[in-house]
Amino acid sequence: MSGSKHTTEVFTVEEVAEEVKGARNNKTRGMYERYVQPCLAELFGTSLLVFVGCSSAIGNLGSGSVLQPALATGLTLGVLIMVFGKISGGHFNPAVSLSVYLCGGMELLMTGPYLTAQVLGGMIGAALTKVIYPTDLYDVALGGAIIPGTTDLVKATIAEMMMTLILTTVVCLGEVNQQTRSPSAPFCVGLTVTANIIAGGILSGSCMNPARAFGPAVAANQWTHHWIYWVGPMGGSLLNVIFIRLFFGDQKTRVMLK
């Protein structure tokens, strides 16, 4: 037909090869950023958090005050969430990851790797603490391991459950739930941890984090009533899921009363 134009595009072998290579690189980068990088962030972040937590406990030995560990842990956690939140969500805590997953905030595929990374991170952070502190001071402080401050283990377990309930509620409503998400969530989470340690540190140690308890337990071989710091936080995490799923979640998250 008159007036019609035909355009022929010619691609060289080198151009086609570059396009294929670019597509492969994008796919590799996507897989890395989606699956590998978040786990590395959880491993690294948990290591730093446990290192600071154990070091502050050892450095606070003999003072009788929980203010130093509370501020050190809460401030560190808030900063780490701010830095790594866009990569992994900034959990650094198996109880938090469990709660976030059950509230619809992460894939099932990532739950196992997250928990593994956090436990390994806790061991690395505790090992670093053991390396830098003098042996006598480290041994007296039990390596920063958390033990109950009361002989009533039921009360200590309930304390861990309630404080973890508060923590995971702030995380899920501040970072996961669409209706209540806030840019100030990292600050709120760090402040919550600080407040919980001040409120319940004397009673149960205010661990709220099985990885924080497990790391120094391995490094210092200190397993006194260690089960409390798994049962309590995981129980508090599940309680939070019930409240979010039934009452406080947005329409997508709630399973009833929609």
pLDDT in tens, 166-184: 999 999 999 999 999 999 9
What is the per-residue pLDDT for 159? Answer: 97
Q: What is the chain's alpha carbon radius of gyration, rounded to the nearest angstrom? A: 23
List, as one string, the DSSP characters of 33-77: IIIIHHHHHHHHHHHHHHHHHHHHHHHTTTT--SHHHHHHHHHHH
CA pair distance 194, 79, nearest whole angstrom: 13
What is the per-residue pLDDT for 50? Answer: 98
What is the per-residue pLDDT for 9? Answer: 52
Q: Each residue of 140-171: pLDDT tens digit? A: 999 999 999 899 999 999 999 999 999 999 99
So what's the architecture of 13-248 in CATH?
Answer: Up-down Bundle (1.20)
The two tokens of residue 229 are: 């710091």
For the chain, the structural domain boundaries read: 13-248
The two tokens of residue 80 are: 């780490």
What is the per-residue pLDDT for 116? Answer: 98
* CA distances in angstroms from 6 to 1, 9, 15, listed in the order given: 10, 10, 22
CA pair distance 21, 16, nearest whole angstrom: 9
Residues 6 or more apart from 168 whose CB is under 8 A from it? 95, 96, 99, 236, 237, 240
Instruction: Count Cβ atoms below 10 Å from residue 167 Cβ, excluding itself.
Output: 27
Q: What is the SS3 assignment for 161? A: helix
The whole model's pTM is what? 0.88
Q: What angle do CA 146, 164, 56 make, to 5 degrees?
A: 35
Instruction: Count Cβ atoms below 10 Å from residue 195 Cβ, excluding itself.
Output: 16
- What parts of the chain have a pLDDT lower than 50? 1-2, 5, 7-8, 16-17, 20, 23
Q: How far is CA 217 from the centre of its chain?
A: 18
